[in-house]
Amino acid sequence: MIELHDVLAGIVVAAGLIGIVVVFLPGLALQLAAVLLWTLEENTVVAWIVLTLVTVLAVAATVCKYTRPGRRLREAGIPGWLLFGAVGAAVVGLFAVPVIGAPLFFVATIYLFERARRGKTAAWPSTRHAIRAVLASIGIELAGGFLILLVFAAAALLT
């Protein structure tokens, strides 16, 4: 039987998906916190297994979200110092322009520095790589978030 804490945790886990796309909410962390609280309320072996699986999924998605796109950008010839600066600009953008600031500042930083470093024509391919990297990062995190939602929903419905 579905109880109130199952429904509330499910709503928060689903809201975590919105946080992944909107960037303002820490999506995977929100999902993990909801499943942790649900596990503490359930306090069954199945709930603890679900929490362990969700933790592994969240950590794997987070690691992949940062390593895969960054490596592809380096392979495209964008230097590490520029990536570091673009991530710093994305953090500033997160607070300066809510919702779209982080990806906007990240891509703009890549474009501006590549334009100064390599010229106008060479800046566009680097910018396209940066846009693909941002989209890949969001896609990886979203896939992890959906897997967490599926694992939680299956466990909540079956227990």
**For all residues of the chain together, what is the average pLDDT?**
89
Tokens of 122: 């060479």
Give the whole-angstrom CA distance, residue 6 versus residue 151. Answer: 13
Over the stretch 128-143, which tens digit does the pLDDT of each residue have? 888 888 889 889 999 9
Q: What is the pTM of this model?
A: 0.81
pLDDT digits (tens, 9 = 90+) for 24-76: 678 999 999 999 999 999 999 999 999 999 999 999 999 998 888 888 888 88
Instruction: Give the angle 43-48-49 at the CA atoms, nearest 5°.
Output: 145
Q: Helix axis angle, 120-158 relative to 4-22, nearest 10°?
A: 180
